[in-house]
Structure 1
């Protein structure tokens, strides 16, 4: 086997390129080149983020498991790699050079095409039905997926395969489709194109071989996609998809075949309420769950890999740039990346565009209150609430929108001996009326309910008596010593709880700027310093929807972008209510931390 003996550099990459330029099938297979990339990830010679490590670990674990229901066939991956070598790059600095897949691309397509069912009705068929690939701009996504679509049309041994590339806008879909057309029309490719019996007619690429096939570009309204019988769908720049409508219709069309593939390819984006962000979050949860061997996160039909940075990485370090960019030595312009990233120090307004495109970091607009990299780092709480059964808790409550979403958060304070500071541990309980799950704009609500992050309540509005009973139950467990309410929509409940538990237990939190300024600023400080911890995608969503209104004396108030916005901040508001009460008590209730965060 060939392996790097030092950290990958341009010289090592070039040596590998020369090897791949000429390697024959027997040597490729004997060297186990399908897994060369994964070996380098595991031995650290190619820098990578945790999600890449987890994706590699997943595939390696299957190789080592004699009870794995799938077997690995290296031939399809080599076949696609060899297919690509017949073509040239047709754009940019690499134009005119042979199209040699990089090690990371070989690994990806080897996994997609190579894992097959050992037994059962799908014996010998591929196990993966869906692939999600997220990496920075310049990684060669479009060119490689164009050739993959052409391969699936002509050489995947499927009768009348239907191949589609889809995007939210025609212009975007046509970028990838146009890349296929360039290969078909490139004079040097005439011999192989004739051999494949491929031709372009009107708006369709046709395969005129015995098994036939069509390749089209789609970008109309999702309803126009009905009736498709998809063998392979390439969904481009999924970060730009506001909803799952297009994906769902295509996925339904792909369910009609035994070996269909849905492939999402994208960079990170800035819309945290989009389907793209939701899917990215799911893939990351899946990879993390597989790494943790959590049985909840097991989906053998989905392959995912995300090339990005890790929490705490120095975004201005060249090693971080290399880690996030799998095409660092093959396809990206290193100087451009360096210049653009360093420029953000003096021009912070460019961070969103630069970090999403060059480092694959989901990044909010600069006028939002909290930046994503800090929020994500705090979404790390993996300790069950029972660890705090002997500790005091303050509950913060926000009942502002009984017709949409309500929340109370349980906030524990603990002294951490490692950094000698107080940390806060948040366990939110979110509720929504069941009618909300039927609204097309609330697809993320359905996902949250299915994952146990959101509780649905019968009817069109949340019965506040249900929430009151929940709070009574929380108090009677013994460690809740205060419940903090915003007066809005809560007077009757708060009075009832005061009558039962005492006015020294149930408090109204004044929502004026003067009163909320300090706990709001504390919340942001805790986020930045990673001293507040939770494990909830809804809380992440709430954090990323926050804006700060400042008056002329410098006091701030956390709010939504506008009163009409559908984006919610309820969990943050409830947290700030609880923090305001913790601040009243100082540190007298906290004890040294008995476990490490």
Structure 2
């Protein structure tokens, strides 16, 4: 039945798919205040998101509008965590999926940035909360994301393909990724172009992002609403292959070496990778070795055929039967220390305490590298740029080549990035080892540059 016949809303759901800087939160705040103050009847309104900070963006926007307007302020009671309309007893408050206790909510829900939700749980709670309210809305607004199997992507596909008289859909996006090279098409994805977002600013951001892979992916999703599968490819194949320089990849016995290790929990690949500065600014050569137990070569096991080939070629070392023999790896590290000027052996302390203790007891310098965004984002970004500048010289090791192509990156809210073993479809252990060593090389290089500077003070 139409709204004119029933007196109720024509639409129960609204899905607005629009990039950043186009007034998403502002629109939600206006909608919330309209229902809170101007609409007839009593409303329980909830702004929700994956975390409390995001949920408050729309709430705080509505709060500011009321505080700055005498007429609205006169009709409302503004508190720290909710806003009341005294005449209708309506209330607006923020909630988040990590706050708990949301099952008993009932009323209109305004969801911000659905693409950040790990699943549909919060959406489902809020959808059910409006079931008994004939005038309730479920208002969803979001940009594109980097997980094409996420609930948000499924909901987006549903809204694009299924016609529903109860759902209002507004999708602003480019028709093709190639249109990013055509500024005249950008208004398709940016309805506020020339008002709150400007072509010159988008062009500048796009140009800067072209040389930094993870930023380019973010521009596509957040500026043009283009879905991406994975945060971003780690390193382009052509850039990686350009770094294979046979005449320059032989290690030097004179220059410092930084070793990175990634130890498997049981029957997986373990890797040891070396990073050595060449003497040229920002340039390194890298080489390494991978280990696997013999059980991983058994017929029918994942990757067993390619593992057998690498064993025959000498690229993969069998160490142990059912699990990797850490003592084998320890002996190889001592051999590297005997051959080169090893400044550090860096690895994730998880599952490595035994080997760490043994190496330390023999005088090997060790460095713990936590596997979070704070530790891994700087070397990950730096390595990407260094590869594009051909400042990473490798020896064309097929296992590392394979691992580089397997990497899927994750990004946090602060745009930090790191390889994600859970998201990556295949093994990335050599890359994990490389990044551990590369991070320590970066830190020591920066420290050396600072210690070489002379500070002059005029008294």
Q: Please give the TM-score of this superposition, normalised by the length of structure 1.
A: 0.41
CA distance in 2, matches of 1:236, 1:342: 28
Give a deviation string over 1:240-265, Cα, whole Å, max 9, x none. 11111111111111111112111111
CA distance in 2, matches of 1:280, 1:202: 34
3-state SS, counterpart of residue 128 of structure 1: coil
CA distance in 2, matches of 1:366, 1:310: 20
1:278 Cα offset (Å): 2.9
1:514 Cα offset (Å): 11
Q: Which residue of 2 aligns with 1:483?
A: none
Give a deviation string over 1:208-265, Cα, whole Å, max 9, x none. 11x32111111253641122221x2111111111111111111111111112111111
1:566 Cα offset (Å): 6.8
Written as runs of structure 1 = structure 2, the 5 A alignment for 1:26-45 is none
Q: Which residue of 2 aligns with 1:190?
A: 70
1:328, 1:334 within 8 Å by CA — same for their partners in 2? yes
Q: Which residue of 2 aligns with 1:218?
A: 95
1:306 is the counterpart of 2:171: yes
Task: Give 4+ residue runs of structure 1 displaced > 6 Å after superposition.
Answer: 566-569
1:565 is the counterpart of 2:430: no
Q: Which residue of 1 aligns with 2:55?
A: 173
Q: 2:138 aligns with which of 254, 257, 262?
A: 262
3-state SS, counterpart of residue 224 of structure 1: coil
1:242, 1:273 within 8 Å by CA — same for their partners in 2? no
Give a deviation string over 1:398-432, Cα, whole Å, max 9, x none. xxxxxxxxxxxxxxxxxxxxxxxxxxxxxxxxxxx
1:316, 1:342 within 8 Å by CA — same for their partners in 2? no
Structure 2 stretches of 5 or more lacking a match?
238-298, 310-394, 409-418, 427-459
Q: Which residue of 2 aligns with 1:322?
A: 187
Q: Which residue of 2 aligns with 1:512?
A: 306
Q: Which residue of 1 aligns with 2:78?
A: 200
Structure 1 stretches of 5 or more lacking a match?
1-68, 71-115, 287-296, 372-486, 491-508, 516-549, 570-597
CA shift in 2, pair 1:142/1:566, >3 Å = closer
1:164 Cα offset (Å): 0.9
CA distance in 1, matches of 2:127, 2:214: 37
CA shift in 2, pair 1:327/1:512, >3 Å = same
1:313, 1:320 within 8 Å by CA — same for their partners in 2? no
3-state SS, counterpart of residue 180 of structure 2: coil
CA distance in 2, matches of 1:217, 1:155: 20
Give a deviation string over 1:53-107, Cα, whole Å, max 9, x none. xxxxxxxxxxxxxxxx53xxxxxxxxxxxxxxxxxxxxxxxxxxxxxxxxxxxxx
1:277 is the counterpart of 2:143: no
2:52, 2:98 within 8 Å by CA — same for their partners in 1? no
1:341 is the counterpart of 2:206: yes
2:187, 2:193 within 8 Å by CA — same for their partners in 1? yes
3-state SS, counterpart of residue 217 of structure 1: strand
2:52, 2:99 within 8 Å by CA — same for their partners in 1? no
CA distance in 1, matches of 2:66, 2:420: 52
Q: Which residue of 1 aligns with 2:124?
A: 248
2:213, 2:234 within 8 Å by CA — same for their partners in 1? no
CA shift in 2, pair 1:182/1:345, >3 Å = same
Q: Which residue of 2 aligns with 1:488?
A: 300
CA distance in 2, matches of 1:269, 1:350: 13
Superposition RMSD in Å? 3.4
CA distance in 2, matches of 1:332, 1:135: 12
1:316, 1:341 within 8 Å by CA — same for their partners in 2? no
Q: Please give the TM-score of this superposition, normalised by the length of structure 2.
A: 0.52
